[in-house]
Amino acid sequence: MKNFPDFTNYGYQVSKELGCNLQGGRITYLASSITSNRQVVIKEFRFAIADGSWSAFKNYQREISALKQLKYSQIPCYLDSFETESGFCLVTEYIHAPSLAERHIFTPEEVKKIAISVLEILEYLQNFQPPIIHRDIKPENILVDENLQVYLVDFGLARLRGGELALSSIAAGTPGFMPPEEMFNRPLTTGSDLYSLGATLICLLTGTRSVEVDRLLDEDYRFKFEGLV
């Protein structure tokens, strides 16, 4: 039986691990509020694993404030945050819907509808001043219910960077979905999320798994998938 962290002192009881990125120092849990019994998602950031600086936590207070601004029906609401011995945790609303990675067959018309929905969410984020960049768009971070209602999840933290708001280095992007500017440590732009969305749509149209999408890239980081559609 797996041992889950004890967050009862903070008002939460963990019931399940939803995802793990040890390289990035992130573990995501399904939990319940002890007072309301409401299901929530807790993302634990472990600075020691991610080679981050705990002393930088105070800087993240401003970033957490940015997350609190997100009021959109297709983005899980920020609920809470708290410090731990090894880092800190973010608590968000739980959306009961599978991710795109869990459903492998979509019609072209369904893919089009999903793309439009995500673009509308990105438009909302980019209308902030400065714009908000998600930085880790991929099938696992897009939930879709039986009515094709789309939700964008796993925002992590936001950091001011080059005049724009982007996820911190703790929540780096995923290989195959990272735009070239991120791979070469160049400033992100509002187009960075569009690149990741494009890679996501290629996965849906070709039936390619997220862990294999980087195999479709050539030496110039262009996707080659003509024979798969």
Catalytic residue list:
136
Distance CA 174, CA 24 (A): 10
Extract long-range pairs of 56-61: CB within 8 Å, 24+ residues apart: 57/83, 57/88, 60/88, 60/157, 60/159, 60/168
Sign of CA dihedral 72, 37, 14, 65: positive
Distance CA(229)–CA(225), nearest Å, equals: 7
Assess contact for 90 and 67: CB atoms under 8 A: yes
- Say if CB 112 and CB 124 are below 8 A apart: no
Task: Strands of 12-161 (E only): list them.
Answer: 12-21, 26-33, 39-46, 78-83, 87-93, 132-133, 142-144, 150-152, 159-161
β-bridge mates for residue 86, sequence order: none
Q: 174-210 burial, b for 16+ CB within 10 Å, e for fewer? A: bebbbbeebeeeeebbeebbbbbbebbbbbbebebeb
